[in-house]
Structures are given as structure tokens and as C-alpha cells.
Amino acid sequence: MAWAKHEIRKARITDVPVIHGLVNHYASQGEMLGRSRSELYEGIRDFFVAEIQGRVVGCSALHVNWEDLAEVRSLAVAAECQGSGIGKALVKACVDEAKDLGIARVYALTYRPGFFEGLGFDKIAKESLPHKVWGDCLKCPQFPNCEEDAVMLQVP
């Protein structure tokens, strides 16, 4: 599956069950924040999916926080497709959309900062992010002992 060509597109309502499965699979391993189906339906316009031969194998979302700040969140790629460039393509779709929207900065909270640094993001202090960003953190089972790193990209 990983060797096949993938397509990145905006998510559709019919993709929610697969997005839910991907995100919550990694959430159950403590790698990201889980999302309810309700949250996913409400935020479907934020999402991109990666598709191979009609099968959704990855997702990401661009969540706008403020006029100049958005978060790349819920980045998940099926295990059998990791290392094939799908994650990179999903982040690029989010950054491209941020650019189209006129958003100057994109950040992520991640346990894999090296992946994002390879895409041009820089590590930053989590405390430098606005308090508005921390709303989701309160829902996280890791809070307040989170070991995620914050990374930021100035949108080109």
C-alpha cells in the first residue's frame, strides 16, 4: 500500500469514521489528543485526508486560532504507510492553506519534533503560545505533565 501514489484532498463527511479511527488509534497510545466523532463532524472543514486507491490512509487538520496563527493538528498516517511521504504531504497541505488564508504562523504540539523540523519548523517554548491555544490541553490525559514539544513555522 505504501508504494502506491497518494492523493491529498479536503475531507468529506463520509471520511469521519476513518479519521476517527486513525486519530483515536494513536490517541490510545498516548501520541495525540483523541477526538470524538462530534468534534470531527463539527471541524470537518479543517481536515485534509490522504487517499490511496480510494482508501483514506492519513489525515491532518489546520485549525485557525487567531488572525495570524493556526495549528497543524490530528496528523495521523496508517502504520503501513508511514515513511512514504504522506505525513509530509498532509502538513504541506495545511501550510499551503494557511498561506492562502493569509495566516503568518503555523505551529504544532508534537512528540516528534524532528519530523516537523525536517519540514522547516523550529522548536519554540510552549509558554510562548497564546493562552487560547491551551483550551485543548485541559482535555488531555497528559495535562499538566505534557512532554510534547511546540514547533513553529513562519508561513512563506
One-letter-per-residue 3-state SS of the chain: CCCCCCEEEECCHHHHHHHHHHHHHHHHCCCCCCCCHHHHHHCHHHEEEEEECCEEEEEEEEEEEECCEEEEEEEEECHHHCCCCHHHHHHHHHHHHHHHHCCCEEEEEECCHHHHHCCCCEEECHHHCCHHHHHCHHHCCCCCCCCCEEEEEECC
Query: Does the 7-154 domain belong in CATH 3.40.50.300?
Result: no
Give the model's pLDDT for residue 126. 82
> 54: left (phi > 0), else alpha (psi -120 to 50), else beta?
left
| Bridge partners of residue 82, in order along the sequence | none
Alpha helices in 56-122 (DSSP H): 86-101, 113-117
What are the residue boundaries of the structural domains of the chain, listed by start?
7-154
3-class DSSP state of 104: coil
Give the model's pLDDT for residue 148. 81
What residues in the chain have per-residue pLDDT under 50? 2
pLDDT in tens, 133-145: 555 555 555 555 5
pTM of the shown model: 0.90
Give the model's pLDDT for residue 33. 87
